[in-house]
Amino acid sequence: MKPEVLLELLEAAADQLGVAVSYEPLQTSVVNGGLCKVKGAYRVIIDKRATSEERVVTLATALATFDTSELELPQKVRDILRTHEGTGPRRSAVAAA
């Protein structure tokens, strides 16, 4: 599956979880973005200069920390989320919105 298509599917999953996704110019050249909580709401900020592949990895890593078992997702999306489980920062379990 092309990275652009996978990215769209991951963005749709984020929307189902109530997680905002934004693309902004980030100052660092080491990290392409990640998950944060702003005023009680989860948000994934991704460097707008990141490649499609880097965007997929960043978003998948962030979403892999959520419970997506109740979401209707294509198997390819579930596979990529499973691949990225445990690769992000450790924090308490997050339930789906």
Mean pLDDT by 10 residues, the chain (97 residues): 94 96 84 90 94 95 94 93 76 41
Contact 42, 18 (CB under 8 A): yes
Q: What is the pLDDT of residue 30?
A: 64
Q: What is the pLDDT of residue 32?
A: 84
Dist. CA 43–CA 6, nearest whole Å: 19
Q: What is the pLDDT of residue 27?
A: 82
Question: What's the whole-model pTM score?
Answer: 0.84
Q: What is the pLDDT of residue 88?
A: 60
